[in-house]
């Protein structure tokens, strides 16, 4: 870790932990700009995720949810989808031991009935092997649609649906900071319920170029904002 990131980490040591979410966008455009196949961009993006996971705990991030594959991504060309599934498989295999050593708990959210059959035991093994991790909860959203997740939770709860029960059914605390790389400025059906009061940060940096320093800068920006949740600013209450 760089000296800059270390100094920023120390500064965050006394502040509350946060739930950060990242839409990891720009892999394909990063590859195209270099004359590489899109798959090369996704592979480079996996390395960026490793950097983010390693940096997150020291920046005060306790939960990190990343958008790995949306339900709409099935509409991409079949060779690219197959390559993404293969990359996801190898990522879980490769990173499992590292996550155990670093105290990272891994969970996969989203549908599993449409995933390749050979991928399912790898997901289960990684989740079980890392279940005791306390330093960081890494949530990988795969075949994920927030609208589908909300609809499914509402069907289960029916008339008993409340803000609290829906949040519990969706399985995660509210997002504090939402980062989207790649220059686009939309949520793309990602954690819509959980991001109701999230601070949004959009950056033109393509995901493969996103560094630990970029993540630290995003957290610093988040810490500088006043979160009112519909109430008046503190100054107005004085």
- List helix spans (H) across the chain: 3-11, 27-33, 38-55, 78-102, 120-129, 146-157, 163-170, 212-224, 234-237
DSSP letter (8 states) at residue 227? P
Whether 174 sits among the annotated catalytic residues: the reply is no
DSSP letter (8 states) at residue 120? H
- pLDDT, residue 81, reads 97
Answer whether residue 7 is part of any domain.
no
Answer whether residue 35 is part of any domain.
yes
Structure-token pair, residue 198: 């999230």
- pLDDT, residue 160, reads 84
Answer whether residue 233 is part of any domain.
no
Whether 73 sits among the annotated catalytic residues: the reply is yes
Answer whether residue 140 is part of any domain.
yes
- pLDDT, residue 83, reads 95
Assess contact for 126 and 52: CB atoms under 8 A. no
pLDDT digits (tens, 9 = 90+) for 128-137: 999 999 999 9
In whole angstroms, give the CA distance from residue 159 to residue 210: 44
Answer whether residue 12 is part of any domain.
no
pLDDT digits (tens, 9 = 90+) for 103-138: 999 999 999 999 999 999 999 999 999 999 999 999
Answer whether residue 209 is part of any domain.
yes
Structure-token pair, residue 148: 């589908």
Structure-token pair, residue 49: 């995720």
User: What pTM value is reported for the model?
Assistant: 0.89
pLDDT digits (tens, 9 = 90+) for 159-217: 888 889 989 999 878 999 999 999 999 999 999 999 999 999 999 999 999 999 999 99
Predicted confidence (pLDDT) at residue 237 exceeds the cutoff of 80: no
| CATH code at position 62 | 3.40.1180.10
Q: Number of folded domains in the chain?
A: 1
From 143, 123, 136, 138, select the one nearest 190 (Cα to Cα): 143
Answer whether residue 2 is part of any domain.
no
Q: How far apart are the first and last CA of the chain?
A: 41
Question: Please, is 133 exposed, middle or buried when counting C-beta atoms within 10 Å of its C-beta (0-12, 13-18, 19+)?
Answer: middle
- pLDDT, residue 236, reads 52
Q: What is the edge-to-edge ordering of all strands in the sheet holding 61-70?
A: 104-109, 136-144, 61-70, 18-23, 177-180, 199-202
Answer whether residue 8 is part of any domain.
no
Pairs from 43-51 (Cβ < 8 Å, separation ≥ 24) = 43/87, 44/208, 45/207, 45/208, 46/87, 46/91, 47/208, 48/24, 48/207, 48/208, 48/209, 48/210, 48/211, 49/24, 49/91, 50/95, 50/98, 51/210, 51/211, 51/212, 51/215
Which domain covers residue 150, as residue numbers?
17-224
Structure-token pair, residue 1: 């870790």
Q: Which of 7, 58, 72, 73 is catalytic?
A: 73
Q: Which of 7, 25, 176, 220 is catalytic?
A: 25
């Amino acid at each position: 870790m760089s000296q800059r990131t270390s100094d920023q980490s120390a500064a965050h040591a006394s502040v509350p932990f946060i739930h950060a979410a990242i839409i990891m966008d720009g892999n394909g455009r990063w590859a195209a700009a270099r004359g590489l196949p899109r798959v090369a961009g996704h592979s480079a993006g996996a390395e960026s995720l490793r950097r983010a996971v390693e940096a997150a705990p020291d920046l005060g991030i306790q939960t990190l949810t990343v958008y790995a594959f949306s339900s709409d991504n099935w509409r991409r060309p079949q060779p690219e989808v197959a390559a993404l599934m293969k990359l996801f498989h190898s990522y879980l295999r490769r990173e499992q031991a590292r996550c155990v050593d670093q105290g990272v708990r891994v969970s996969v959210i989203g549908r599993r009935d449409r995933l390749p059959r050979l991928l399912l035991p790898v997901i289960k093994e990684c989740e079980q092997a890392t279940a005791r991790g306390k330093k960081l909860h890494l949530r990988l959203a795969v075949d994920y649609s927030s609208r589908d997740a909300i609809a499914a939770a509402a069907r289960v709860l029916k008339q008993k649906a409340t803000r609290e029960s829906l949040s519990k059914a969706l399985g995660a605390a509210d997002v504090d900071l939402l980062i989207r790389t790649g220059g686009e400025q939309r949520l793309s059906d990602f954690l819509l319920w959980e991001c109701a009061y999230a601070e949004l940060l959009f950056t033109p940096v393509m995901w493969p170029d996103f560094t630990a320093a970029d993540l630290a800068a995003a957290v610093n920006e988040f810490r500088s904002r006043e979160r009112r949740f519909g109430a008046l600013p503190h100054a107005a209450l004085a």
